[in-house]
Structure 1
């Protein structure tokens, strides 16, 4: 095992916490925004916190609250929530090679978010299989608790925060997308990843511009995945000679 791999795996609990800390800068502001939005829509403080604890799905939570308040049928609420989260069908196969055949992974998938997925692809290849579960639990729980904490803050004190600092309401929606972009861009080191990012980003922007924001995220994920797998990676001259 390389020195880099050893240093990452020497204390997976500590490494997971260290990797998750930057996520708080994106999670808490957006969670505060959700907490404020949910309470203003008519949900109670406890209900709002429970939504973040058990649904824990970012954009899907905003859609869930909006559809429930508008009186949408339960089946439509469920379908739309699942549609937005359909990107996890792409996440699963990509991280599966790094997971052991352990039933404990099944409930822990509740902690999987876009940002944890990006961290997983970066960290797990450099860890021993026995350390991956501990790293994932550490990073995932910290991210999850920060989302719940931010939601509670927004639900309880969101109005006061916005009243005192009005600019916050303009900045909050950009915190999480900006964080995810910063985490994903370093992977765009070759033609395949760059085209994938461009395809996904362009798809999302066009759908939003043409008035289809609810399907922008899943459609972008699907288009990006198709682009990634459609592009054939040519072996280098060294690989061909070997």
Structure 2
């Protein structure tokens, strides 16, 4: 997790942004991008060591976790076993659980705590709604429909925090034309999520923490498809 956090902090550096624009040139220079490369290799080696150890004691009839389940699929001998369930995919899958799962979740929670401290009046409204709906019972998924303000605050945290402003690199699945540019299949595309999450055409106060972005005139939760599309 420390390695993943270090990489995420580095993604906002000037050298990383320059590398995304001029990878061949910048890859030859020193800078934070070199540390990111080193960390990626460190993570791959760590994960490979873990699943190598688990493979030695694997019991397909007693699968303990995701890695065991993946390794069991490898041994089925089906066409999919070699096409999808190979070691490279296992390494990327586990890596993604650390980076795209654990790190982003913990960072979003930290932003939520920070914003509740910064805006105590919003925190009080959330707390009152929680006390009124949940009280001393265990939280249930059906409570969400009864807590529109809390739901709106959670969505606004995700919008305002903008924790992955450049998202992650994608690739075109086919030849496409976008705004006059011809992008052949396999072109790397780095979407700028900030431009969507701070768009005045879709959010009334894009530079402010404003839960009302996700509430209608009656105080009911209102989906904003622009947030979902950006994700």
Provide TM-score, normalisation by structure 2.
0.29
Higher helix share: 1
Higher strand share: 2
Please identify the structure whose Cα radius of gyration is greater: 2
Provide TM-score, normalisation by structure 1.
0.28
- Larger RCO: Structure 1 or Structure 2 (Cα < 8 Å, ≥ 6 residues apart)? 1
